[in-house]
Amino acid sequence: MRTSLVASILIASGAAQAAVTPDFRAPSGGAVADRVHTMAVQVVAGGDGAQLSVASGVMAGGGIVFTDLRAVAVRGPDGVLAPRRQIAVLTVAGVFAARIAGTAPDLDVAVLELPQAARGIEGPPLADGSLAAGDRLLAIRAAKLGTALRFDAMGFSIEAADGDVLLPTPAPPLSFAGAPVFDARGELAGILVSPTEQDGLLVPAKSLLEILTRLRAAAAPPDDHI
């Protein structure tokens, strides 16, 4: 019988729930990190012998997770993105199977949906203001360390805007792909994505909200009222 990715993670970790081991390395952002670190998650995708892909992500409430698109989909020879067969999300409340609810390929963002049991996990409020060059922000990534989730923080500022994405400086390492980014109020300012192994970009909260709005509109039942 094929073992699911979720079951494999639980067996390897030896625990059904992930403990929280904060490891923040950004003293200036420690207060924000203390408030929001448990909203970061780790996303693991693979299945059927394929190499595992790992990235961070963030809870958005209602069982919705934002993450880096390259973590959960692969581009075939024809250039078409195909979802990985199995996706698991490690949260402070446990490990959950996930499915891709939608994607925004132009922004390298994927939206995952978790089962009912995970829909009570809190997500941060989305920042409603625009980001500008020089703004200071904090990225938090989640990574499994033994039986625990470990959280690392990285401070950076906005260098410039490039269409619907922002350029962080210093450029975030690839290990921060999918990591949520918070402002000084602890609101979700966006997520980091890595279109390539060399590029690190910030997709702002307003774009994430637009993605969610489109998904909800597409999922809404048709209005039969005449």
Is residue 1 over pLDDT 50? no
What pLDDT digit, counting tens, does each position of 43-98 carry?
999 866 667 889 999 999 899 999 999 889 887 788 777 888 899 999 988 899 99
What pLDDT digit, counting tens, does each position of 174-202 carry?
899 999 999 988 899 999 998 776 678 89
Q: Is 179 left (phi over 0), alpha (psi -120 to 50) or beta?
A: beta
- Residue 209: exposure state from Cβ atoms within 10 A (0-12, 13-18, ≥19): middle
Residue 120 lies in a domain: yes
User: How, if at all, do strands 19-22 and 148-162 pair?
Assistant: parallel
Residue 90 lies in a domain: yes
- Residue 151: exposure state from Cβ atoms within 10 A (0-12, 13-18, ≥19): buried
In sequence order, what E strands does 69-200 have?
73-75, 81-83, 86-91, 94-97, 99-104, 109-113, 136-145, 148-162, 165-169, 180-182, 188-193
Residue 224 lies in a domain: no
Question: What pLDDT is stored for residue 66 in this prediction?
Answer: 97
Residues 195-218: what's their mean pLDDT?
86
Query: What three-state secondary structure class fits 8?
Result: helix
Residue 225 lies in a domain: no
Residue 91 lies in a domain: yes
What's the mean pLDDT when you consider all of the chain? 82
CATH number of the domain within which 22 lies: 2.40.10.120
Domains in the chain, number: 1
Closest CA to 89 of 116, 124, 59, 60: 59
Phi, psi (rounded to 5 degrees) for 128:
-105, 0
Is residue 163 over pLDDT 70? no
pLDDT band at 121 (very low <50, low <70, confident <90, very high): confident
pLDDT band at 113 (very low <50, low <70, confident <90, very high): very high
Let me know: does 158 contact 166? Beta carbons within 8 Å. yes
Is pLDDT larger for residue 85 or for residue 147?
Answer: 85
Is residue 16 over pLDDT 60? no
Question: What pLDDT is stored for residue 134 in this prediction?
Answer: 83
Number of H helices, E strands in the chain: 4, 16
Question: What pLDDT is stored for residue 224 in this prediction?
Answer: 55
Residue 138 lies in a domain: yes
Phi, psi (rounded to 5 degrees) for 39:
-90, -10
Is residue 19 over pLDDT 80? no
What is the extent of the structural domain holding 137? Answer: 5-217
Is residue 226 over pLDDT 50? no
Is pLDDT larger for residue 167 or for residue 14?
Answer: 167
Is residue 159 over pLDDT 50? yes
What pLDDT digit, counting tens, does each position of 25-39 carry?
555 567 777 778 778
Separation between Cα atoms, residue 222 and residue 49, nearest integer Å? 40
State the distance between the two ends of the chain, measured CA to CA, in whole angstroms: 51
Residue 141 lies in a domain: yes
